[in-house]
């Protein structure tokens, strides 16, 4: 695979992921009663804020965050 083909494939998948993020933020907000203000664009620090809030919620609820992995 040439570098330009690799770059094109990565950009294609990145664009698909970025298109799905607003729906994920809405679902996470409704499922876990969280709100992360991100406006019309979602950036890396918004994802980090969401992860931090989810970890705090897990710790407050006493949920074991270590899920067993299937063997």
Residue 38's SS3 state is: coil
Q: Tell me, what's the pLDDT at 7?
A: 85
pLDDT one digit per residue (tens) for the chain, 71 residues: 677 888 888 888 888 888 888 888 888 878 878 777 777 777 888 888 888 888 888 888 877 656 655 55
- The pTM of the full predicted model, rounded to 2 decimals, is 0.56
- CB neighbour list of residue 35: distance below 8 Å, 6 or more residues apart: 29
Q: Tell me, what's the pLDDT at 26?
A: 82
């Amino acid at each position: 695979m040439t570098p330009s083909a690799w770059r094109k494939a990565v950009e294609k998948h990145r664009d698909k992921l970025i298109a799905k993020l607003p729906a994920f933020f809405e679902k996470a907000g409704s499922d876990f009663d969280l709100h992360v203000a991100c406006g019309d664009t979602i950036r890396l620090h918004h994802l980090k804020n969401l992860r931090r809030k989810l970890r705090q919620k897990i710790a407050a609820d006493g949920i074991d965050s270590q899920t067993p992995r299937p063997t």
